[in-house]
Amino acid sequence: MIVTVVFPWLMAKFLLKPGVGPLRDDRFLDRLGFWRAAVGLVVIVVATYPFQSPGTVLGSNVTKMWLTASYAMLAVPLPFLVLLIATRSGHRVQLLRGALRLLRRMALASTGFLLLIGIFLVFGREGGTSYKVAETSLPGLPGFLVGVLKVFGVVGGLCWLAIFILCTIYWAARTGFWLSEIHPLLAPVSTTIVMLLINGREIIEFDTRGVPGSLWLTLNLCGTASALVLAVFEYRHLHSIGYRFRSGPQPAAIDVRTSDQ
């Protein structure tokens, strides 16, 4: 647990990653989703290196993740209401419980942003961005050491918080703002729709940012195709083990032949 607290990406994963099902295919699709994103980012960095710096590519991907998470957040009420109407009456209470779990995820996701705002409110001065972090009432060497420790503590805390916030944006984008908490089938469907909207807008605008058009379009279309294939496999897997939109978020049956023995 101490290691989880020390490393912000582990803390974000612990707090924000939805649970993975017990079946082998569940774990395989979860790993595949991560490696698709990681390998895709490396391919984009390498392919566009002569035209864009890695920092620019990373910044563009963070912006895209932020847009994905924002669109998914704004879209949450619509699929929830549609599913609430379509679900058989005996299963609707499970959707409401899922909505409460989603709200808890949202509360946990907001902690990083709230802490960052709190730090600026505590250490910030009116009319400027300087900080009185190193000030101390102790004289001589002890005061100097305490001031240095305070500076390193604040800088380290800000770095930890920045990484945690980036990981929060990643999990919000990857999970479609945790819509699977309401119903597992919503995750592949919602993330696919949001991805198509964002990528479609990018293709229409065709802002290559210095990258040759053919290379930029190939990378974009390949990323879209790989995301679609993964979403289809995830949806078919969930459907095969009994998940249905009208039957609530619990599977009607589980095919034990696909599980680990």
- What does the block give as tokens for 40? 């895709």
Residue-level length of the chain: 261
**pLDDT at position 255:** 45
Separation of alpha carbons 139 and 126, rounded Å: 28
In 3D space, the residue among 227, 28, 185, 183 whose CA is nearest the CA of residue 91 turns out to be 183
- What does the block give as tokens for 194? 């949001």
- What does the block give as tokens for 46? 């390498």
**pLDDT at position 2:** 80
Separation of alpha carbons 237 and 80, rounded Å: 22
In 3D space, the residue among 94, 32, 31, 101 whose CA is nearest the CA of residue 251 turns out to be 94
Separation of alpha carbons 136 and 147, rounded Å: 6
Residue 86's contacts (CB-CB under 8 Å, 6 or more residues apart) are 245, 246
**pLDDT at position 38:** 87
In 3D space, the residue among 20, 3, 13, 7 whose CA is nearest the CA of residue 238 turns out to be 20
**pLDDT at position 244:** 87
Grade residue 225 by pLDDT with cuts at 50, 70 and 90: very high
pLDDT in tens, 36-82: 888 888 998 898 888 888 888 888 889 888 998 888 888 888 888 88
Percent of the chain with pLDDT over 70: 84
**pLDDT at position 132:** 52
Domain borders along the chain are 6-125+141-251
pLDDT in tens, 100-146: 989 999 999 998 888 888 877 776 554 444 445 545 555 555 655 66
Side-chain-facing half-sphere of 110: CA atoms under 13 Å: 8
